[in-house]
Amino acid sequence: MHELSIVQSLIELCEQNALNHNAKLIKEVQVKIGRLSGVEPELFQRCFETFKESCVYCKEAKLTIQNAELEILCLSCHKESILKENVFKCPHCQSIDFKILSGEDLHLMRLVME
């Protein structure tokens, strides 16, 4: 359950940003979780709700999660595609020679502070 350490790092980052910007509290934290990031959004949400209770700035924060699709660039036909299923080949030319453009990471997208 690595979501615990990820949430802990996220909250530390949020708290540091609030401190750096002289904010009184954080109202919203928006993250984007890639389909292949290995992070379970539901578990991430529960961990956030648990950890935020012991934080100075995040106590009232609302977590918004966006799911990021898996986007690839085919190195054979040079077309960008979104893979809807875990079938790892280009939907246009069926090549397995591709580069992942997005969908493997977790990103802090927005932080609303007051």
Binding-site residues: 2, 74, 77, 90, 93
> Residues annotated as binding site for Zn(2+)?
74, 77, 90, 93
Contact in structure between 57 and 17 (CB atoms under 8 Å): no
Nearest CA among 55, 43, 49 for reference residue 13: 55
Distance separating alpha carbons of residues 41 and 24, to the nearest angstrom: 27
- Report the binding-site residues for Ni(2+): 2
Best CA proximity match to 92, nearest among 101, 100, 83: 83
What gap in Å lies between CA 65 and CA 73, rounded to an integer? Answer: 25
